[in-house]
A = this chain, B = another copy of it.
Protein backbone atom coordinates (compact mmCIF):
# COMPACT_ATOMS: atom_id res chain seq x y z
CA UNK A 1 0.00 0.00 0.00
CA UNK A 2 2.91 2.30 0.71
CA UNK A 3 3.69 2.03 -2.94
CA UNK A 4 6.44 -0.53 -3.16
CA UNK A 5 4.39 -2.76 -5.47
CA UNK A 6 3.26 -2.43 -9.07
CA UNK A 7 0.96 -4.51 -11.24
CA UNK A 8 -2.39 -6.21 -10.81
CA UNK A 9 -1.83 -9.82 -11.90
CA UNK A 10 1.89 -9.79 -12.68
CA UNK A 11 2.94 -7.92 -9.58
CA UNK A 12 6.36 -6.76 -8.41
CA UNK A 13 7.09 -5.74 -4.82
CA UNK A 14 10.51 -4.24 -4.14
CA UNK A 15 12.78 -3.30 -1.26
CA UNK A 16 16.25 -1.96 -0.69
CA UNK A 17 18.26 1.15 -0.05
CA UNK A 18 21.24 2.48 -1.93
CA UNK A 19 23.66 1.64 0.89
CA UNK A 20 21.80 -1.08 2.74
CA UNK A 21 22.70 -4.77 2.68
CA UNK A 22 20.85 -5.61 -0.50
CA UNK A 23 18.05 -4.67 -2.86
CA UNK A 24 15.50 -7.17 -3.99
CA UNK A 25 12.04 -8.02 -5.11
CA UNK A 26 9.19 -10.49 -5.22
CA UNK A 27 7.32 -11.21 -8.43
CA UNK A 28 3.87 -12.59 -7.74
CA UNK A 29 1.68 -13.96 -10.51
CA UNK A 30 4.37 -15.03 -12.95
CA UNK A 31 2.83 -17.79 -15.07
CA UNK A 32 4.34 -21.26 -14.74
CA UNK A 33 6.35 -22.88 -17.47
CA UNK A 34 8.71 -20.19 -18.73
CA UNK A 35 12.19 -21.53 -19.49
CA UNK A 36 14.03 -18.63 -17.93
CA UNK A 37 17.14 -17.32 -19.72
CA UNK A 38 19.14 -16.14 -16.73
CA UNK A 39 21.91 -14.70 -18.83
CA UNK A 40 19.43 -12.49 -20.61
CA UNK A 41 18.26 -11.22 -17.22
CA UNK A 42 21.82 -10.46 -16.12
CA UNK A 43 22.50 -8.83 -19.44
CA UNK A 44 19.65 -6.36 -18.88
CA UNK A 45 21.08 -5.59 -15.46
CA UNK A 46 24.46 -4.97 -17.06
CA UNK A 47 22.88 -2.41 -19.38
CA UNK A 48 21.76 -0.48 -16.30
CA UNK A 49 24.72 -1.00 -14.02
CA UNK A 50 26.95 1.81 -12.80
CA UNK A 51 30.50 2.12 -14.07
CA UNK A 52 29.66 0.76 -17.52
CA UNK A 53 31.13 3.73 -19.39
CA UNK A 54 32.94 7.02 -18.98
CA UNK A 55 29.73 9.07 -18.99
CA UNK A 56 27.95 7.38 -16.08
CA UNK A 57 28.53 7.12 -12.34
CA UNK A 58 31.78 5.41 -11.45
CA UNK A 59 30.36 3.50 -8.49
CA UNK A 60 31.55 -0.07 -9.07
CA UNK A 61 28.82 -2.61 -8.45
CA UNK A 62 28.70 -6.02 -10.08
CA UNK A 63 24.90 -6.01 -9.68
CA UNK A 64 24.59 -9.76 -9.80
CA UNK A 65 21.07 -11.01 -9.26
CA UNK A 66 20.50 -14.08 -7.11
CA UNK A 67 17.17 -15.86 -7.50
CA UNK A 68 15.88 -17.48 -4.33
CA UNK A 69 12.57 -19.08 -5.28
CA UNK A 70 9.90 -19.66 -7.90
CA UNK A 71 12.24 -21.31 -10.41
CA UNK A 72 12.82 -25.05 -10.57
CA UNK A 73 14.96 -26.90 -13.06
CA UNK A 74 15.20 -23.73 -15.10
CA UNK A 75 11.50 -23.00 -15.35
CA UNK A 76 9.16 -20.66 -13.54
CA UNK A 77 6.86 -22.66 -11.27
CA UNK A 78 3.96 -20.24 -10.87
CA UNK A 79 4.93 -19.47 -7.27
CA UNK A 80 6.42 -16.16 -6.22
CA UNK A 81 9.91 -15.37 -7.48
CA UNK A 82 12.15 -13.83 -4.84
CA UNK A 83 15.50 -12.34 -5.73
CA UNK A 84 18.20 -10.10 -4.30
CA UNK A 85 21.07 -7.95 -5.51
CA UNK A 86 23.70 -7.49 -2.85
CA UNK A 87 25.21 -4.06 -2.37
CA UNK A 88 28.97 -4.60 -2.39
CA UNK A 89 30.49 -1.18 -2.87
CA UNK A 90 28.77 1.07 -0.37
CA UNK A 91 30.94 4.04 0.44
CA UNK A 92 28.61 5.31 3.08
CA UNK A 93 31.21 7.68 4.48
CA UNK A 94 30.74 9.71 1.33
CA UNK A 95 27.41 10.71 2.78
CA UNK A 96 28.05 11.68 6.38
CA UNK A 97 28.28 15.29 5.25
CA UNK A 98 24.63 15.26 4.21
CA UNK A 99 23.36 13.58 7.36
CA UNK A 100 22.01 16.75 8.85
CA UNK A 101 21.47 18.80 5.72
CA UNK A 102 19.11 18.85 2.77
CA UNK A 103 20.45 18.76 -0.76
CA UNK A 104 18.40 20.91 -3.16
CA UNK A 105 15.95 19.01 -5.39
CA UNK A 106 16.67 15.74 -3.61
CA UNK A 107 14.21 13.88 -1.41
CA UNK A 108 16.19 14.50 1.81
CA UNK A 109 13.88 17.16 3.18
CA UNK A 110 10.58 15.45 2.36
CA UNK A 111 11.71 12.11 3.83
CA UNK A 112 12.59 13.77 7.11
CA UNK A 113 9.27 15.57 7.15
CA UNK A 114 7.25 12.51 6.21
CA UNK A 115 8.92 9.85 8.31
CA UNK A 116 10.65 11.81 11.08
CA UNK A 117 14.13 10.73 9.99
CA UNK A 118 15.83 9.01 7.07
CA UNK A 119 18.55 6.66 5.89
CA UNK A 120 20.64 9.44 4.42
CA UNK A 121 23.30 7.22 2.82
CA UNK A 122 23.20 7.73 -0.93
CA UNK A 123 19.60 8.84 -0.89
CA UNK A 124 18.43 5.66 0.82
CA UNK A 125 15.23 4.38 -0.73
CA UNK A 126 14.94 7.39 -3.04
CA UNK A 127 18.14 6.41 -4.85
CA UNK A 128 17.80 5.40 -8.49
CA UNK A 129 19.70 2.31 -7.47
CA UNK A 130 16.25 0.95 -6.61
CA UNK A 131 15.54 0.62 -10.32
CA UNK A 132 17.96 -2.33 -10.64
CA UNK A 133 15.22 -4.47 -9.14
CA UNK A 134 12.75 -3.26 -11.73
CA UNK A 135 15.16 -4.24 -14.50
CA UNK A 136 15.34 -7.82 -13.20
CA UNK A 137 11.57 -8.17 -13.13
CA UNK A 138 11.25 -6.41 -16.46
CA UNK A 139 13.71 -8.84 -18.01
CA UNK A 140 11.52 -11.74 -16.97
CA UNK A 141 8.45 -9.96 -18.31
CA UNK A 142 10.23 -9.44 -21.63
CA UNK A 143 10.81 -13.16 -21.93
CA UNK A 144 7.17 -13.87 -21.17
CA UNK A 145 6.03 -11.35 -23.78
CA UNK A 146 7.60 -13.40 -26.54
CA UNK A 147 7.32 -11.61 -29.85
CA UNK A 148 6.02 -8.39 -28.36
CA UNK A 149 9.15 -6.29 -28.62
CA UNK A 150 10.08 -3.22 -26.59
CA UNK A 151 12.86 -0.86 -27.65
CA UNK A 152 13.94 2.35 -25.93
CA UNK A 153 16.65 4.81 -26.84
CA UNK A 154 17.97 8.26 -25.99
CA UNK A 155 16.23 10.80 -28.19
CA UNK A 156 17.45 13.97 -26.48
CA UNK A 157 20.23 15.23 -24.22
CA UNK A 158 19.59 18.80 -23.22
CA UNK A 159 18.59 20.62 -26.38
CA UNK A 160 20.28 18.04 -28.63
CA UNK A 161 17.20 16.33 -29.97
CA UNK A 162 16.99 13.47 -32.45
CA UNK A 163 13.97 14.42 -34.54
CA UNK A 164 14.00 11.43 -36.87
CA UNK A 165 10.77 9.44 -36.65
CA UNK A 166 11.31 6.05 -35.08
CA UNK A 167 10.45 4.18 -38.27
CA UNK A 168 13.55 5.67 -39.87
CA UNK A 169 15.92 4.62 -37.09
CA UNK A 170 18.18 1.60 -37.06
CA UNK A 171 17.60 0.13 -33.61
CA UNK A 172 20.51 -2.24 -33.99
CA UNK A 173 22.84 0.71 -33.43
CA UNK A 174 21.39 1.67 -30.04
CA UNK A 175 23.76 -0.45 -28.00
CA UNK A 176 26.67 0.40 -30.26
CA UNK A 177 27.39 3.66 -28.46
CA UNK A 178 27.54 4.59 -24.81
CA UNK A 179 24.76 7.17 -25.08
CA UNK A 180 22.32 4.63 -26.55
CA UNK A 181 21.22 6.92 -29.37
CA UNK A 182 20.54 5.16 -32.70
CA UNK A 183 22.12 7.91 -34.79
CA UNK A 184 25.87 7.83 -34.86
CA UNK A 185 26.41 11.49 -35.43
CA UNK A 186 23.91 12.63 -32.84
CA UNK A 187 25.26 10.07 -30.39
CA UNK A 188 28.69 11.60 -30.80
CA UNK A 189 27.37 15.09 -30.08
CA UNK A 190 25.42 13.90 -27.09
CA UNK A 191 28.44 12.15 -25.65
CA UNK A 192 30.50 15.29 -26.01
CA UNK A 193 27.83 17.36 -24.36
CA UNK A 194 27.67 15.00 -21.41
CA UNK A 195 31.45 15.03 -21.05
CA UNK A 196 31.49 18.83 -20.99
CA UNK A 197 28.72 18.96 -18.46
CA UNK A 198 30.47 16.43 -16.23
CA UNK A 199 33.72 18.35 -16.46
CA UNK A 200 31.88 21.41 -15.18
CA UNK A 201 30.55 19.41 -12.25
CA UNK A 202 27.12 19.99 -13.67
CA UNK A 203 24.36 17.66 -14.96
CA UNK A 204 21.92 17.70 -17.85
CA UNK A 205 18.45 16.34 -18.62
CA UNK A 206 17.22 14.36 -21.59
CA UNK A 207 14.49 12.32 -23.18
CA UNK A 208 14.08 8.56 -23.64
CA UNK A 209 11.78 7.36 -26.42
CA UNK A 210 10.26 3.91 -26.57
CA UNK A 211 8.35 1.82 -29.09
CA UNK A 212 6.46 -1.44 -28.50
CA UNK A 213 5.89 -3.62 -31.55
CA UNK A 214 3.72 -6.67 -32.21
CA UNK A 215 1.15 -5.71 -29.61
CA UNK A 216 -2.06 -7.75 -29.78
CA UNK A 217 -5.33 -5.82 -30.03
CA UNK A 218 -7.27 -5.55 -26.81
CA UNK A 219 -4.78 -4.79 -24.01
CA UNK A 220 -5.78 -2.09 -21.54
CA UNK A 221 -8.96 -1.34 -19.67
CA UNK A 222 -11.59 1.25 -20.57
CA UNK A 223 -11.70 3.69 -17.69
CA UNK A 224 -9.08 4.33 -15.01
CA UNK A 225 -6.66 1.63 -16.09
CA UNK A 226 -6.25 2.73 -19.65
CA UNK A 227 -3.13 1.21 -21.15
CA UNK A 228 -1.42 4.57 -21.55
CA UNK A 229 -2.42 5.65 -18.02
CA UNK A 230 -0.60 2.64 -16.60
CA UNK A 231 2.36 3.11 -18.93
CA UNK A 232 2.46 6.75 -17.93
CA UNK A 233 2.33 5.96 -14.24
CA UNK A 234 5.07 3.35 -14.66
CA UNK A 235 7.33 5.83 -16.43
CA UNK A 236 6.59 8.69 -14.02
CA UNK A 237 7.55 6.37 -11.17
CA UNK A 238 11.14 6.26 -12.48
CA UNK A 239 13.47 8.63 -10.67
CA UNK A 240 13.90 12.07 -12.28
CA UNK A 241 11.01 11.75 -14.73
CA UNK A 242 9.05 14.99 -15.31
CA UNK A 243 6.77 14.16 -18.21
CA UNK A 244 5.19 11.50 -20.39
CA UNK A 245 3.47 11.68 -23.76
CA UNK A 246 2.36 8.96 -26.17
CA UNK A 247 1.35 8.98 -29.80
CA UNK A 248 0.92 12.55 -30.95
CA UNK A 249 1.48 13.75 -27.39
CA UNK A 250 1.65 17.45 -26.59
CA UNK A 251 2.04 18.18 -30.31
CA UNK A 252 -1.33 16.49 -30.85
CA UNK A 253 -2.98 19.18 -28.73
CA UNK A 254 -2.09 21.67 -31.45
CA UNK A 255 -3.72 19.68 -34.27
CA UNK A 256 -7.13 19.62 -35.91
CA UNK A 257 -9.20 16.46 -35.72
CA UNK A 258 -9.29 16.17 -39.50
CA UNK A 259 -5.50 15.87 -39.51
CA UNK A 260 -5.21 13.81 -36.33
CA UNK A 261 -7.70 11.02 -37.01
CA UNK A 262 -6.10 7.73 -38.08
CA UNK A 263 -7.92 6.35 -41.13
CA UNK A 264 -8.35 2.58 -41.33
CA UNK A 265 -7.01 0.08 -43.79
CA UNK A 266 -9.46 -2.70 -44.45
CA UNK A 267 -7.58 -5.03 -42.08
CA UNK A 268 -8.14 -2.72 -39.11
CA UNK A 269 -4.64 -1.28 -39.16
CA UNK A 270 -4.39 2.48 -39.63
CA UNK A 271 -2.73 4.62 -42.27
CA UNK A 272 -1.31 7.06 -39.74
CA UNK A 273 -0.70 6.39 -36.05
CA UNK A 274 -1.26 9.60 -34.09
CA UNK A 275 -3.15 7.39 -31.66
CA UNK A 276 0.16 5.79 -30.68
CA UNK A 277 -1.30 2.31 -30.89
CA UNK A 278 -3.95 2.96 -28.24
CA UNK A 279 -7.59 3.98 -28.70
CA UNK A 280 -9.86 4.53 -25.73
CA UNK A 281 -7.15 3.10 -23.48
CA UNK A 282 -6.98 -0.19 -25.41
CA UNK A 283 -4.24 -1.34 -27.78
CA UNK A 284 -5.29 -1.43 -31.43
CA UNK A 285 -2.43 -3.52 -32.76
CA UNK A 286 -0.38 -0.64 -34.15
CA UNK A 287 2.98 0.29 -32.63
CA UNK A 288 2.77 1.88 -29.21
CA UNK A 289 5.28 4.69 -28.82
CA UNK A 290 5.93 7.27 -26.15
CA UNK A 291 8.47 9.76 -24.81
CA UNK A 292 9.71 10.21 -21.27
CA UNK A 293 11.32 13.45 -20.05
CA UNK A 294 14.11 13.27 -17.45
CA UNK A 295 15.28 16.27 -15.46
CA UNK A 296 18.98 16.91 -14.88
CA UNK A 297 20.35 14.96 -11.89
CA UNK A 298 20.22 17.04 -8.73
CA UNK A 299 23.69 16.13 -7.45
CA UNK A 300 26.24 18.62 -8.69
CA UNK A 301 29.98 18.38 -8.03
CA UNK A 302 30.01 22.04 -7.19
CA UNK A 303 29.77 24.22 -4.15
CA UNK A 304 26.26 25.33 -3.35
CA UNK A 305 24.20 26.91 -0.61
CA UNK A 306 21.48 24.99 1.20
CA UNK A 307 19.96 24.45 4.64
CA UNK A 308 20.60 22.06 7.49
CA UNK A 309 17.82 20.45 9.40
CA UNK A 310 17.61 23.33 11.84
CA UNK A 311 17.01 25.74 8.98
CA UNK A 312 20.49 27.28 9.00
CA UNK A 313 21.85 28.36 5.63
CA UNK A 314 25.05 26.39 4.97
CA UNK A 315 27.65 25.96 2.24
CA UNK A 316 28.10 22.46 0.84
CA UNK A 317 30.37 20.80 -1.69
CA UNK A 318 28.88 18.07 -3.88
CA UNK A 319 30.87 14.83 -3.93
CA UNK A 320 30.36 11.15 -4.45
CA UNK A 321 29.89 9.13 -7.64
CA UNK A 322 27.07 10.39 -9.78
CA UNK A 323 25.65 10.38 -13.28
CA UNK A 324 26.07 13.63 -15.17
CA UNK A 325 23.07 12.56 -17.26
CA UNK A 326 20.70 9.70 -16.47
CA UNK A 327 19.23 8.95 -19.86
CA UNK A 328 21.82 6.41 -21.14
CA UNK A 329 21.25 4.22 -18.09
CA UNK A 330 17.52 4.98 -18.09
CA UNK A 331 17.02 3.18 -21.41
CA UNK A 332 16.83 -0.36 -19.94
CA UNK A 333 14.72 0.96 -17.04
CA UNK A 334 12.12 2.42 -19.40
CA UNK A 335 12.02 -0.87 -21.28
CA UNK A 336 11.67 -2.82 -18.04
CA UNK A 337 8.77 -0.72 -16.81
CA UNK A 338 7.06 -1.02 -20.18
CA UNK A 339 7.51 -4.79 -20.08
CA UNK A 340 6.03 -5.06 -16.57
CA UNK A 341 3.04 -3.04 -17.67
CA UNK A 342 2.42 -4.94 -20.91
CA UNK A 343 2.79 -8.30 -19.19
CA UNK A 344 0.29 -7.34 -16.54
CA UNK A 345 -2.30 -6.28 -19.10
CA UNK A 346 -1.62 -9.37 -21.21
CA UNK A 347 -2.63 -11.60 -18.31
CA UNK A 348 -5.60 -9.45 -17.40
CA UNK A 349 -6.84 -9.60 -21.00
CA UNK A 350 -7.27 -13.34 -20.62
CA UNK A 351 -10.28 -12.62 -18.44
CA UNK A 352 -12.18 -10.32 -20.84
CA UNK A 353 -14.56 -12.82 -22.31
CA UNK A 354 -16.73 -15.69 -21.25
Contact = CB atoms under 8 A, between A and B. Distances in A.
A243 B246 contact: yes
A75 B354 CA distance: 11
Contacts of A239: 280
A228 B222 contact: no
Interface stretch (A4-12, A53-61, A165-173): A4-12
Contacts of A32: 114-117, 352-354
A212 interface: no
A80 B268 contact: no
Contacts of A252: 205, 242-243, 293, 295-296
A279 B347 contact: no
Contacts of A156: 253-254
A305 to B, nearest CB: 6
Interface residues of A, number: 153
Contact of A254 (B119, B159, B270, B291): B159
A237 B226 contact: yes
A178 interface: no
A282 B245 contact: no
A26 B26 contact: yes
Contact of A253 (B5, B262, B295): B295
Contact of A352 (B14, B115, B225, B255): B115
Contacts of A111: 222, 280, 282
A302 B259 CA distance: 12
B77 A124 contact: yes
Nearest to A107: B280
A67 B66 CA distance: 16
A20 B225 contact: no
A322 to B, nearest CB: 10
Contacts of A266: 307, 311-313
A254 B204 CA distance: 7
A254 B313 contact: no
A191 interface: no
Contacts of A305: 263
A222 B353 contact: no
Contacts of A104: 261-264, 270
B295 A222 contact: no
B115 A33 contact: yes
Contacts of A7: 1
Contact of A279 (B25, B105, B250): B105
B68 A2 contact: no
B82 A15 contact: yes
Given A261-B104, A266-B311, A354-B34, A254 B68 contact: no
Given A2-B222, A23-B82, A229-B236, 19 more contacts: A2-B11, A31-B351, A32-B115, A76-B354, A110-B283, A110-B284, A111-B222, A114-B352, A116-B353, A224-B234, A232-B232, A233-B236, A242-B246, A243-B243, A244-B244, A256-B296, A261-B298, A261-B300, A350-B351
Per CB-CB distance, the 8 closest pairs between chain A and chain B, nearest first, are A107-B280, A3-B221, A3-B225, A15-B82, A243-B245, A203-B257, A233-B233, A32-B115
